[in-house]
Amino acid sequence: MSNLVKFKIDGTECMAEKGSYIVDAALENGIYIPTLCNMPGVKPKGACRVCSVRINGRLMTSCTTPVSDGMEIESNSADILDLRKAIIELMFVSGNHFCPSCEKSGNCELQALGYRYKMMVPRFLYDFPVRKVDASSPKIIKDQNRCIQCKRCIKTIKDEQGRSLFAFHKRGHDLEVILDQDLGKKITEELADLAMKNCPVGSIIKKEKGFEQAIGRRMYDHQPIGIEDK
Amino acid sequence: MSKKITIEPVTRVEGHGKVTIHIDNQGNITQSRLHIVEFRGFERFVQGRPYWEAPVLVQRLCGICPVSHHLAAAKALDVIVGAGTGEGLTPTGEKMRRLMHYGQFFQSHALHFFHLSSPDLLFGIDSDPATRNIIGVALTYPELAVQGVMMRKFGQEIIRATAGKKIHGTGAIPGGINKNLSIEERDEFLLGADPLNADKMVDWAEGALDFFKNYYASNKSFVDGFASFPSNHLSLVRKDGALDLYHGVLRAVDTEGNKILHDVDYQEYVNYIEEEVRTWSYMKFPYLKDIGKENGWYRVGPLARLNTVDFIPTPLAQREFEIYKALTNGKPNNHCLHTHYARLIETLHAAEMIRELLNDPDLLGNELVTKGIKHKEGVGVIEAPRGTLFHHYRINDNDQIEMANLIVSTTHNNEPMNRSVNYVAKAVMTGKEVITEGMMNAVEVAIRAYDPCLSCATHALGKMPLEITLVNEFDEIIDRKRS
């Protein structure tokens, strides 16, 4: 019996393995749905909501919803595109994202999505929160101003004993992702590199390496985020 | 009846300022001041940021010569990362930075001369303001306007190739640079189709200089006499006394040319320079400590540089330098409007330096960064187009900036600009019943000669235009004109 299921995204016939998540199934069929918190190989949590699609009239996160036979998915309608743009705008206004002096600029997924969705000026008021910069680790800096709480670092940056170096701290509006003070001091070079790489924004940066990649050679300098133009 | 005149905003300068002029019952000027009304606070909000962000963050002070801030900050951080004090970089690192800097000098000087100052020279300082602007220049002297635009473009393209972007790039990093020059980029600048190649830029820089010299020949008494007053002069000079806009030692001379600051290491600048705060301006007043507040003030910028240096290390600019120096018999030149002359000699020097650097294979090298034993504090000084620029940073144990001090070119020129305003106001307004737009522009011409960047000088908030207000002895406004 075939493991493949048939479904439609914006009217386009697609096929994918049964049980695969919509965001991955779409990609297999050449359709890009944006994500920020999602990472291949890591169990999805639907934290950022940027991948929202509409199924049977309901908004669902495509990174946590498996495809099923006959499913009809709406991804590129005007209101969903605007919803994604609004989510991106909210991330910008709820932190302190100053791209001009951020070394992740050009490699930042949030910035790249801002460009993709043609965000000129956020429609929401800036929060200008007072956030801390934790520079206590000898190898990395955790800048809370830029954190979007995607949890990628919590899920992927672990020491040899499997202990996560990052964790949620506080709740609600005060929620933040912090670096364990002891583990942060012992972080290896490789793990520090990985932490910076896995952070979709400039919240985790490697010490003393800033701006070593010239403008014009960064990930999104010539190639926008997504797959359509590749 | 006594009056107070306010010129607000001052136009064709970068940033926001105003001038106030007090006139007593007999029509005498009793006080005149250039007020800088912007406030920004970069020195404060850079605190807590990782030190390597400084060159990228602090350059946002300015959109005209951000490269100066970018490089001054990078030079300060070279000290912090143990790469030396301006001489320890790899040849590629240092020469790429120099190319960036000379590209910036070329574009900034071209912008100032062609866009900001040429309208005063071409049409006269009291001509109709409706045409006394860059649009008027473009309509009446299209070839000159195109040259100005293309020279600026060439300089901006050099910046793009070295810093990654024409404005606010990221090329200079602590200890070096993040890219070399590709062969294609080099060939484009050396062999590009006219007019965008280095040879043409040298020709045009000579042409601009000839234009000014011709103007000077027919307007000698005006150019020599306008806001001319003695002062001290300060700049970086190369250790052998040559003009060097990127690195050197600090030298100051008095109005007779005697050295009053003897080629000192700028890491020790706090021993030699102090800043005074006056209540009516956001811009401080620096002075040489040894001489004191009263007489220790000095000029910086093109006029000052050509007064402090012994020679210019490129042949065409050196030839012009000799002609220029002969005008004052080798003594310091204190004529305010000769700043334009000096600026154009520097423009020629920058074009020659760009051409020389482009022919240097070191630009194509791959050794970009050098580092050594880390320090907690560093000072970077560079000659920005408008004058000597100081950046001073101290970091904590976690690599965060805990102190920043910037002394910007225009700040050094604060006292001289105020004196120029006073001089011109006295010369053109004393005893006059009616203050005309031409008189107000004369005041602005004096300020404009310094090519001030008021946004940088206050590290500042807001925009820039100049307004003159006329006030009586009771401080009641009688008249106000905006230019």
Residue B280 sits in the same domain as residue B246: yes
- How far apart are the CA of B150 and the nearest CA of chain A, in angstroms? 24
Residue B30 sits in the same domain as residue B146: no
- Chain A positions in Cβ-Cβ contact with residue B56 (cut-off 8 Å): 100-101, 103, 210-211
Say if CB B76 and CB B408 are below 8 A apart: no
- Per-residue model confidence as pLDDT tens digits over A106-128: 999 999 999 999 999 899 999 99
Helix (H) or strand (E) holding A43: none
Whether residue B60 and residue A205 make contact (CB cut-off 8 A), yes or no, is: no
Whether residue A100 and residue B60 make contact (CB cut-off 8 A), yes or no, is: yes
Q: What local confidence, expressed as pLDDT, does residue B302 receive?
A: 96
Interface test with A, best of B46, B47, B52, B67 (most A CBs within 10 A): B52
Q: How confident is the model at residue B479 (pLDDT cuts 50, 70, 90)?
A: low
In a domain, A128, yes or no: yes
* CB-closest option in B52, B164, B399 to A215: B164
- How far apart are the CA of B172 and the nearest CA of chain A, in angstroms? 9
Q: How confident is the model at residue B64 (pLDDT cuts 50, 70, 90)?
A: confident
Residue A97 sits in the same domain as residue A173: yes
In a domain, B379, yes or no: no
Residue A95 sits in the same domain as residue A200: yes
Final residue in a domain of this structure, among B334, B367, B397: B334
In a domain, B359, yes or no: no
Closest A-chain CA to B395: A135
In a domain, A196, yes or no: yes
Q: What local confidence, expressed as pLDDT, does residue B418 receive?
A: 86
Whether residue A136 and residue B398 make contact (CB cut-off 8 A), yes or no, is: yes
In a domain, A222, yes or no: no
| A102-106, long-range: CB < 8 A, 24+ apart | A102/A146, A102/A202, A103/A202, A103/A205, A103/A210, A103/A211, A103/B52, A103/B53, A103/B56, A104/A146, A104/A199, A104/A201, A104/A202, A104/A205, A105/A202, A105/A218, A106/A213, A106/A215, A106/A218, A106/A219, A106/A220, A106/A221
B209 has a pLDDT exceeding 90? yes
Q: Determine the Cα angle at B76 with ends B72 and B82, to 5°.
A: 140
Interface test with A, best of B97, B170, B177, B370 (most A CBs within 10 A): B170
Say if CB B243 and CB B250 are below 8 A apart: no
Q: What local confidence, expressed as pLDDT, does residue A54 receive?
A: 98
Say if CB B148 and CB B115 are below 8 A apart: yes
Q: What local confidence, expressed as pLDDT, does residue B324 receive?
A: 97
* CB-closest option in B171, B174, B399 to A214: B171
Q: What local confidence, expressed as pLDDT, does residue B11 receive?
A: 64
ipTM metric: 0.92
Q: How confident is the model at residue B460 (pLDDT cuts 50, 70, 90)?
A: very low
Asked if A100 has any chain B CB less than 8 Å from its own CB, the reply is yes
* CB-closest option in B52, B169, B398 to A215: B169
Q: What local confidence, expressed as pLDDT, does residue B160 receive?
A: 97
- How far apart are the CA of B402 and the nearest CA of chain A, in angstroms? 13
In a domain, A198, yes or no: yes
Specify the higher pLDDT residue, A74 or B281. A74
Spatial neighbors of A160 by CB under 8 A, at least 6 apart, are none
Token pair of A227 as six digits: 């797959």
Q: Give me the mean pLDDT over the B35-52 stretch.
A: 82
How many residues in chain B? 483
- Provide the domain count of chain B: 3
Whether residue A133 and residue B170 make contact (CB cut-off 8 A), yes or no, is: no
- Provide the domain count of chain A: 2
- Per-residue model confidence as pLDDT tens digits over B146-202: 999 999 999 999 999 999 999 999 999 999 999 999 999 999 999 999 999 999 999
Number of C-alpha atoms within 13 angstroms, CB side, residue B460?
26
Residue A37 sits in the same domain as residue A149: no
Residue A148 sits in the same domain as residue A193: yes
Q: Determine the Cα angle at B43 with ends B42 and B48, to 5°.
A: 100
Final residue in a domain of this structure, among A76, A107, A135: A76
Asked if A212 has any chain B CB less than 8 Å from its own CB, the reply is yes
* This prediction's pTM: 0.90
* CB-closest option in A207, A208, A211 to B170: A211
Residue A105 sits in the same domain as residue A202: yes
Residue B126 sits in the same domain as residue B235: no
Final residue in a domain of this structure, among B334, B359, B382: B334
B463 has a pLDDT exceeding 50? no
Question: What's the CATH code of the domain at A22?
Answer: 3.10.20.740
Q: What local confidence, expressed as pLDDT, does residue B287 receive?
A: 94
* CB-closest option in B50, B163, B165 to A210: B50
Interface test with A, best of B47, B51, B56, B57 (most A CBs within 10 A): B56
- Per-residue model confidence as pLDDT tens digits over B304-346: 999 999 999 999 999 999 999 999 999 999 998 899 999 999 9
Residue B99 sits in the same domain as residue B220: yes
In a domain, A53, yes or no: yes
- Chain B positions in Cβ-Cβ contact with residue A136 (cut-off 8 Å): 398
Q: How confident is the model at residue B471 (pLDDT cuts 50, 70, 90)?
A: low
Interface test with B, best of A99, A101, A141, A218 (most B CBs within 10 A): A101
Residue A16 sits in the same domain as residue A49: yes
Residue B437 sits in the same domain as residue B483: yes
Q: What local confidence, expressed as pLDDT, does residue B456 receive?
A: 47
- Per-residue model confidence as pLDDT tens digits over B20-41: 888 888 788 888 887 765 566 7
Distance between CA B248 and CA A105 in Å, rounded? 34
- How far apart are the CA of A204 and the nearest CA of chain B, in angstroms? 12
- Per-residue model confidence as pLDDT tens digits over B350-402: 999 999 999 999 999 999 999 999 999 999 999 999 999 999 999 999 999 99
In a domain, B1, yes or no: yes
Residue B126 sits in the same domain as residue B153: yes
Asked if A213 has any chain B CB less than 8 Å from its own CB, the reply is yes
Q: Give me the mean pLDDT over the B218-230 stretch.
A: 89
Whether residue A103 and residue B52 make contact (CB cut-off 8 A), yes or no, is: yes
- Chain A positions in Cβ-Cβ contact with residue B55 (cut-off 8 Å): 211
B266 has a pLDDT exceeding 80? yes
Q: Give me the mean pLDDT over the A75-83 stretch.
A: 96
Q: What local confidence, expressed as pLDDT, does residue B461 receive?
A: 32
Say if CB B420 and CB B33 are below 8 A apart: no
Minimal CA–CA distance to B417: which of B439, B438, B443, B441?
Answer: B443
Residue A71 sits in the same domain as residue A123: no
- Chain A positions in Cβ-Cβ contact with residue B170 (cut-off 8 Å): 211, 214-215
- Chain A positions in Cβ-Cβ contact with residue B48 (cut-off 8 Å): 133
- Per-residue model confidence as pLDDT tens digits over B420-444: 888 888 888 887 777 788 888 888 8
Q: Which domain holds residue A116?
A: 84-208
Q: How confident is the model at residue B96 (pLDDT cuts 50, 70, 90)?
A: very high
- Chain B positions in Cβ-Cβ contact with residue A211 (cut-off 8 Å): 52, 55-56, 170, 173, 178
* C-alpha torsion angle, residues B398, B400, B403, B406 (rounded to 10): 150
Token pair of A213 as six digits: 């990649």
Closest B-chain CA to A185: B398
Residue B236 sits in the same domain as residue B204: no
Question: What's the CATH code of the domain at A153?
Answer: 3.30.70.20
- Per-residue model confidence as pLDDT tens digits over B272-285: 999 888 887 777 88
Final residue in a domain of this structure, among B287, B318, B334: B334
Residue B209 sits in the same domain as residue B253: no
Say if CB A212 and CB B74 are below 8 A apart: no
Q: What local confidence, expressed as pLDDT, does residue B462 receive?
A: 31
- How far apart are the CA of B77 and the nearest CA of chain A, in angstroms? 11
Residue A65 sits in the same domain as residue A142: no
B1 has a pLDDT exceeding 90? no
Q: Which domain holds residue B100?
A: 95-167+194-225
Distance between CA B389 and CA B235 in Å, rounded? 9
Whether residue B50 and residue A100 make contact (CB cut-off 8 A), yes or no, is: no
Q: How confident is the model at residue A229 (pLDDT cuts 50, 70, 90)?
A: very low
Closest A-chain CA to B162: A214
Q: What local confidence, expressed as pLDDT, does residue A230 receive?
A: 45
Q: How confident is the model at residue B63 (pLDDT cuts 50, 70, 90)?
A: confident
- How far apart are the CA of B92 and the nearest CA of chain A, in angstroms? 15
- Chain B positions in Cβ-Cβ contact with residue A210 (cut-off 8 Å): 50, 52-53, 56, 173
How do A71-74 and A58-61 pair as beta strands?
unpaired
- Chain B positions in Cβ-Cβ contact with residue A217 (cut-off 8 Å): 179
Closest B-chain CA to A136: B398
Whether residue B53 and residue A103 make contact (CB cut-off 8 A), yes or no, is: yes
Q: What local confidence, expressed as pLDDT, does residue B207 receive?
A: 94
Tally Cβ neighbours within 10 Å of residue B128.
11
Whether residue B164 and residue A133 make contact (CB cut-off 8 A), yes or no, is: no
B18 has a pLDDT exceeding 90? no
* CB-closest option in B49, B174, B179 to A214: B179
- How far apart are the CA of B259 and the nearest CA of chain A, in angstroms? 40
Q: What local confidence, expressed as pLDDT, does residue A107 receive?
A: 96
In a domain, B105, yes or no: yes
Say if CB B410 and CB B62 are below 8 A apart: no
Q: Give me the mean pLDDT over the A57-78 stretch.
A: 96
Residue B315 sits in the same domain as residue B261: yes
Distance between CA A137 and CA B117 in Å, rounded? 52
Q: What local confidence, expressed as pLDDT, does residue B316 receive?
A: 98
In a domain, A223, yes or no: no
In a domain, A220, yes or no: no
Q: What local confidence, expressed as pLDDT, does residue B453 receive?
A: 64
A94 has a pLDDT exceeding 90? yes
In a domain, A221, yes or no: no
Say if CB B5 and CB B27 are below 8 A apart: no
- Chain B positions in Cβ-Cβ contact with residue A215 (cut-off 8 Å): 163-165, 169-170
Token pair of B214 as six digits: 């011709």
